[in-house]
Amino acid sequence: MPPRSGRPRRPDLRALRAALPEPVRAVVTGYERHLGLERGLSAHTVRAYVGDAVSLLGFVVDGGGGLAELDLARLRAWLAVQQSGGASRTTLARRAASARTFTAWAHRTGVLAADPGGRLAAPRAHRTLPGVLRAGQAEEVMRASAAGAAQRDPVALRDRAMVELLYATGIRVSELCGLDVGGADFSRRVVTVLGKGGKERVVPFGVPAAEALTAWIDEGRPKIVAESGGDSPEPALFLGVRGKRVDPRTVRRVVHDAVTAVPGAADMGPHGLRHSAATHLLEGGADLRSVQELLGHATLATTQLYTHVTVDRLKAIHDRAHPRA
């Protein structure tokens, strides 16, 4: 399949890693172990950080140097090559931060005599406002999902429950896929999810999500388990058609189909429902700290992005409605 237009082809990082000299590969392996076991980062984050380290070290080795030659000039040259290859400011900022993480670890463990990343600057990332549904559009998405589940098809019941729970809680798609049956407490209407860095948090959900979950657990899930013929069924709350834990790609497709069924709604996936939930909470009067806890953000600064969304909406309403706008 050809790459999407406007997006540079991602290099084969496994091939790049295999091409590194053995001592350098050993350093990469130690760094990977540090990220996953000592810092407890998610598998996705570890892959991103290790991929950036491999790219950086491959650049240094291809230039005829080794680990000892990794200095500020080479860090800047590595970023410059990526910028000329079409990397965005946001991508450059992320990779610069990733390089600083690696060089700090390498210096702390004695791999590097000094930490060149401490002086590495990068362009400030654009804080793009997330696309969100209007409250009325979100209601239409939920109604469309409920209508699809009216025939009690097990997959449709599952899809409705996933869409309702994503919007009701604002949890990440990885957190949804990681849920087990025992993770939902219907007496208190909360789910216990495992977020980034292995941090556990409890998130409430409302009556519509509870109804959708109950229909899935009582009617839909047993049918999929029976049809898949599994003697020891998965503990996962949400299952694929073969009886295994649902895949994030399936969830993204389900959300995409549900949202595109609503005329005028922006195309989005599960993260768009997370953005929408956060924005609607703030518009409804929730305080920023509570929304931070619900979303599992490590810092309040990340949650504050949603305040810009609500201010922009207020400005748009003001421009349309106020006689002196």
Residue numbers annotated as active site:
172, 196, 271, 274, 297, 306
User: What's the number of CA atoms in the CB half-sphere (13 Å) around residue 76?
Assistant: 8
How wide is the angle at C-alpha 214 spanned by C-alphas 212 and 220, nearest 5°? 85
- Identity of the amino acid at 240: G
Kindly list the distances between the CA atom of residue 312 and the CA atoms of 111, 229, 271, 318, in Å, as whole numbers in the listed order: 48, 52, 20, 10
Phi-psi region of 110 (alpha: psi -120 to 50; beta: other; left: phi over 0): left
Q: How far apart are CA 135 and CA 70, in angstroms?
A: 51
Q: Could you tell me where the DSSP H helices lie in the chain?
A: 13-19, 22-33, 43-62, 72-84, 89-108, 135-148, 154-169, 173-177, 207-215, 221-228, 248-260, 270-283, 288-295, 300-321
Handedness of CA 314, 320, 324, 325 (dihedral sign): positive
- Whether residue 106 contacts residue 68, with contact meaning beta carbons closer than 8 Å, is answered with no
Task: State the Rg of the chain over Cα.
Answer: 23
Give the residue among 144, 113, 158, 90 at the shortest CA–CA distance from 263: 144
- Whether residue 8 contacts residue 86, with contact meaning beta carbons closer than 8 Å, is answered with yes
- Whether residue 255 contacts residue 166, with contact meaning beta carbons closer than 8 Å, is answered with yes
* Angle between helices 72-84 and 89-108 in degrees, nearest 10: 150
Kindly list the strands in the beta sheet with 190-194, ordered across the sheet, starting from the edge strand earlier in the chain.
184-185, 190-194, 200-204
